[in-house]
Structure 1
Amino acid sequence: MVAILTFSHGSRAAPIDTSGPVDHHPIHHVLATGQSLSVGANGYPALTTAQPYDNIMFAPGVIPGGEGLHKFSPLVERGLETMSSSFANLVGKMAREELHAASNLDPHDLLVSAHGVSGVGYWALKRGTKPYTIGLAQVKAGRDIAKAQGRPYVVRAITNVHGESDHVRQNLRYESDLLTWQADYERDVRAITGQREPVPMFETQMSSFTRYGAATSPIPGAQLAAHVHAPGKLILVGPKYHLPYASDGIHLTNEGYRHMGEDYAKAYRRVVLEGRTWEPVRPQRIARSGATIVVTFYVPSPPLVLDTARVSDPGNYGFEYEEAGPHAPTIRNVAVTGPDTVSVTLSAPSTDKSARLRYAFTGNAHAKAGPRTGPRGNLRDSDTTPSRSNNELFNWCVHFDEPVP
């Protein structure tokens, strides 16, 4: 069978080769956007050189561009490691071995394709830009190849790794930009595929802002706010300070990308495979009594742990207390006091209504990102999800800045 693939942006029509991997299961497509961390910058050498399941990519590669997309190939990395392979392969493992092992349900093999661009902000990736158009070309190609193979096709999600360039520009509209970005993808993808399924955007917080010469950044807070204000649409996987960074302190190592992909896979499982809500480790409720602040957290896998072995202590396990005036109390002690609670003890009681509790919020300007040097904290959960790459897949607390009632 030969079908004709025509791109709306004017590329020449070309025949689709249907001789690639074919099975009886639907094609679940996940698009990857963002800047350099979305395309594996510095992730040399490639680690995923064999496909353990039936995950696929377009024949040109994981980052295939928008033309010549006529055939699927087994998903492997070439040259460098992106997060896309480890993401797809852990989803495949969980779907086959845990969720669908005892049934004849779809094993949920993925088609992944990246169209991110290094060093650019939202303004260069949003609807109407060349990268965005390439992403939609990948959707059209996936739809048409699937149709030629007689297979159902659906776009399940967008993975986004982004924020550095918007930090440099101090983009104070970044939360709104994220919401628009996701909504545009969902609308345009549905127009192409005709699907009813939602297209959520999965994101991680930027954890490298100190490398750009600033002690703080509005971007991680905007990424958290988008998750809170658009539940099920913008889904915050977590931070990135726990990952191994390359020597530049901005990009990840090949192992770092592989670990990050598996972090995304866990959130994808919860939302897409199980139809439930994903919450990272983040504050759910903050209460004050005298000199004690008690924080109740969302915890994917209790109990909470203060871990100084995997992430070094930046002071007070990453917690900060801020209030106006020259005689503000300081943090005297931080302790886990329940499976989902942390108690922060101050040096004196306070009733200041402008007080803020922060975590992994302030770092040392110019410091490289990472578990020993960057803006970070020590709070994590006890997730025991098996990794395919011998990673410890704990969920680390997000960067936050919250009022103290």
Structure 2
Amino acid sequence: LNRQQRTQIMLIIGYGQSLSRGINSLPAISTSQPYNNLMIASGTKIRNGDSGYNPSSFVPLVAKTEGTEGEDPVVGLCNGVVRRAIADGEIAADWSFLGTSPGRSARSVEELGPSSDPNAFYNKMVRYVQDTKNLADATGKSFSCWAYCWDQGESNYAGTTFTKSPYQYAQLMLALFDTLSKQVVAITGQEFQPYIFSYQVGGHRFYGVDKNTIALSQWRISRERPDFVLAVPVYAIPVVTDDVHLTNEGSWLLGEYRSRAMYQTMVRRSGKWRPLEPIKVDWQADHID
């Protein structure tokens, strides 16, 4: 960890449920690519094995309006990191991120994890990594995976059969990414571990849950695991009328918050990013400081 090397193509995987794919974040607003960031020919959202999937070439990274899916936050993340690098004196041509958003709406951490089913979303994501490594090799480009993003937690609040235990949620989420890193490194041959950049899930009141167990689990993991970076709590970001999904500007803003956390942590190397958070609570009978 923290031994990353810049390669000619650096993969960022935006995984999770609906917020990772820009559900209701309409219309897409990052419709042109100002730098050298990339996606595969079929875009950021079509998964390996899905109709229209096309990993035959790299094209400029943009967000697309596809049905109910619009601005996905991985685009704002990739562009935001490069913009910050240029402002710090880096050469734009040296930075090329590859963005993908292979998650699935309304899925729990259990459903998004490793599976023996070849059609599982997790396995489609791993095959995408192999496809893009093959394409990079064919075009003579060095390739690595720098980071994952994690936008998930709402379904574990909403469902009746999925865990709401903060301990069990942490175990399942960390097992997912620990397994993924082993598979990714085996594919790419890189000698460094990807970071995980997460939001802090909101919505426990929306789903009628009286304890924000998943959100606190994510925060505690970010305090303990050096590879898990909590970029921003999602309650601060604007939502559409359903009070759950982000506006298109909100989805872009989520990516921007992550770009700040990623730039400070991985490029500027100023230590692991910490979000706005309480550091001390004084709870008295008549007031809380």
Q: Which range, TM-score by smaller chain? A: 0.7 to 0.9
Measured after TM superposition, the shift of residue 93 of structure 1 is: 0.6
**Which ranges in structure 1 are unaligned for 5 or more consecutive residues?**
1-24, 288-292, 294-320, 322-327, 335-343, 345-405
The answer on whether the counterparts of 1:154 and 1:195 sit within 8 Å (CA) in structure 2 is yes
8 Å contact 1:31–1:113 — kept in the other structure?
Answer: yes
Q: How far, CA to CA, are the matches of 1:330 and 1:170 in structure 2?
A: 35
What does residue 253 of structure 1 align with? Answer: 247
- Asked whether the equivalents of residues 49 and 78 of structure 1 are also in contact (C-alpha less than 8 Å), the reply is yes
Aligned equivalents of 1:150 and 1:107: distance in 2?
15
Shift of 1:178: 2.0
- 1:200 aligns to 2:195 (yes or no): yes
Deviation at 1:90, TM superposition (A): 0.9
CA deviation string 1:310-363 (max 9, x = no partner): xxxxxxxxxxx3xxxxxx7120xx6xxxxxxxxx2xxxxxxxxxxxxxxxxxxx
Normalising by structure 1, report the TM-score: 0.63
Q: 2:209 aligns with which of 200, 214, 238?
A: 214
Largest Rg, 1 or 2:
1
Q: What letter corresponds to residue 151 of structure 2 in structure 1? A: V
SS at match of 2:235: coil
Distance 1:136 1:154 in 2: 14
Match of 2:57 in 1: 71
Distance change (3 Å), C-alpha of 1:136 and 1:170: closer
Counterpart-to-counterpart distance in 2, 1:87 and 1:156: 12
Q: Which amino acid aligns with 1:329?
A: A
- In the alignment, residue 113 of structure 1 is paired with which amino acid? T
What's the secondary structure of 2:88's corresponding residue?
Answer: helix
Shift of 1:108: 2.0
Which letter maps to 2:108?
G
1:135-154 aligned at under 5 Å gives the runs 135-154=125-144
The SS at the match of 2:146 is strand
Q: 2:110 aligns with which of 113, 123, 126?
A: 123
Q: Which one has a larger percent helix, Structure 1 or Structure 2?
A: 2
Which residue of structure 2 aligns with residue 329 of structure 1?
Answer: 285
Partner residue in 2 for 1:300: none
Task: Using the TM superposition, give the Cα deviation of residue 106 of structure 1 relative to its aligned residue in structure 2, in angstroms.
Answer: 6.4
**1:170: how far off?**
4.5
Q: Structure 2: which 5+ residue stretches go unaligned?
A: 1-6
Which of the numbers 268, 272, 294 marks the counterpart of 2:266?
A: 272
Task: Give the match's secondary structure for 2:198.
Answer: strand
Tell me, yes or no, if the aligned pair for 1:34 and 1:162 is still in contact at 8 Å.
yes
The answer on whether the counterparts of 2:104 and 2:121 sit within 8 Å (CA) in structure 1 is: yes
CA RMSD, aligned part only?
Answer: 1.9
CA deviations 1:227-249 (Å, max 9, x no partner) are 11212x21111201111101000
Q: Which residue of 2 aligns with 1:376?
A: none
Using the size of structure 2 for normalisation, the TM-score is 0.87
2:16 counterpart residue number: 34
1:74-114 CA-partner distances (Å, limit 9, x unpaired): 1111111111111111111111222415xxx9632210011
State the aligned residue count: 267
Q: Partner amino acid for 1:114?
A: S
| Letter of the 1:204 counterpart | Y
Pick aligned residue for 2:97 from 101, 110, 113: 110
- Distance in 2 between residues matched to 1:201 and 1:99, nearest whole Å: 26
Instruction: After superposition, give the CA deviation of every residue in 1:259-296 in whole Å (9 maximum; x if it has no partner).
Output: 11100101111222123321122344x38xxxxx3xxx
Contact 2:8 2:94 in 1 (8 A): no
| Equivalent runs, 1:75-94 vs 2, <5 Å | 75-79=61-65, 80-94=70-84
Structure richer in strand, relative to its length: 1
Contact 1:179 1:234 in 2 (8 A): no
Identify which of structures 1 and 2 has the higher relative contact order when contacts are C-alpha pairs closer than 8 Å and 6+ apart: 2
Alpha-carbon distance between aligned partners in 1 of 2:64 and 2:285, rounded to the nearest angstrom: 54
Query: 3-state DSSP class of the match of 1:132?
Result: helix
Task: State the match for 1:325 in structure 2.
Answer: none
Instruction: Determine if contact 2:31/2:63 at 8 Å carries over to the other structure.
Output: yes
Partner of 1:166: 156
Indicate yes or no: 2:272 matched with 1:282: no
Residues 51 and 76 in structure 1, CA contact (< 8 A), matched pair in contact too: yes
